[in-house]
Each structure stands twice: as structure tokens, then as C-alpha cells.
A and B are shown apart, each in its own frame.
Chain A
């Protein structure tokens, strides 16, 4: 069966510090991968999605970036965090097509102070 992991589970970072969140998927090959952010009381905002290694599509211009160095690894990064980057970050995977059912990880709660 497929499993999706995210770490860390929680993170408190000062403004201006770098960020690296990691997501890995087990039990499937060539998944589509997604990063979402959910602000408190808000909906899911799609940040990035990837259909293959090195292929990243950005949905919202911001100071975040994503990379997919391996088939089942997806990384969300920032060089300098802003207060507005605080939120609940969720990684998800799906089969094809892109709009297929998505399976979410446990999430990372990021607080920028």
C-alpha cells in the first residue's frame, strides 16, 4: 500500500531564516506530487505541483520554491521566511491524470515569528 511521509511535523522559525520541508511517498511509482498551504480557517491553496523528476509548476508567485530530486521525493524551500509564510503545509500525491484523487500527508505546522 502507498504511504506518504512529511517532516518535520511542527516547526517554529524566525523571520528571515531558511526553510526546507520534505515529503516522500512509498509504494507507488511516478506519482504526481503537490504542495498546499492552509492558513488558519482558510481553504487549501495549491503552491506547486510536479508530474515528474525536475518538473515543477508554480501556482502562486511567492518566496517559496519546490524541487523534486527523486521520483518520490518533493521538497519545499525558502531562502528567507516571511511572517505570512506561517500555516499548515500539506504534501499530497495522486496518480494520473493530475486531477485524480489526492492522498495527503500528515502535514507540517509552520510558525514564523
Chain B
């Protein structure tokens, strides 16, 4: 069956360090993958989209990689700040241009 896995345990890091979050998937062949940020009590906010023919994408302090062989995406936040604390969700297009399927998210806590 299709599955999207994100680390369910919270990731705690120190301010200034690089945070790395992982999204693994099975039985999908997504044309692209997206990352969203969700703050408590709010709707998710789109951050980055990476296509299957792109290895890496950057936006300011954010970097996403996409390895279709490993079926994995890594999401990096460099020079992390307490304001980066949130839950980060990955989402895959389910194939054939159909709807997105979201992972359960990883909570990131950046400490002073």
C-alpha cells in the first residue's frame, strides 16, 4: 500500500544549527513533492515544490532535495531560528495529476 513517512518524534535543535527533516515514501511515483509549514491552530502554508527531475531546490534558508531512487526528500533549514519552530508536512501528488497526499508531519523546535 502507499505510505508517506515522516519522523513522528519532535526534532529539537539549537538556534543557528541546520535542521534536517526527512520524508520517505513507498509505492508512489510522484511527479513532484511539496513541503508545507503548519503552526498550531492554523492551516498549512506552502513552502517549496520540487519536481522529479530536480535534485535540489533552494529558497532563502530552505533547501529541499528529492531522490526518486531512494524515494526520499530531505528538507533543510539553515541558520535555524526559534521562529522556525512549527510542524513541517511533506505532500506527494498521487500520480496522474490526482490529489495531494500529506504526511503526518514532523514537529521542529528551535531552542535558544
Residue positions of A touching B, CB distance < 8 A: 34, 42-44, 46, 49, 59, 88, 90, 92, 97-99, 101-107, 109
Contacts and interface: CB of A to CB of B under 8 A. Distances in A.
A97 B43 contact: no
Contacts of B34: 101
Interface stretch (B14-22, B68-76, B90-98): B90-98
Given A43-B104, A43-B105, A44-B89, A97 B97 contact: yes
Interface of B: 31-32, 34, 41-46, 49, 89, 91, 93-94, 97-105
B49 A101 contact: yes
B89 A43 contact: yes
Contact of A99 (B41, B42, B89, B97): B97
A107 B41 contact: yes
Contacts, number: 51
Contacts of A104: 43-45
Given A44-B44, A103-B46, 6 more contacts: A43-B103, A88-B41, A90-B43, A99-B31, A99-B93, A107-B41
Nearest to A105: B43
Contact of A107 (B31, B43, B94): B43
A99 B46 contact: no
Given A43-B105, A44-B102, A107 B42 contact: yes
Contacts of B97: 97-99
B75 to A, nearest CB: 16
A46 B103 CA distance: 12
A46 B92 CA distance: 13
Nearest to B107: A41
Contacts of A90: 43-44
A64 to B, nearest CB: 17
Nearest to B8: A41
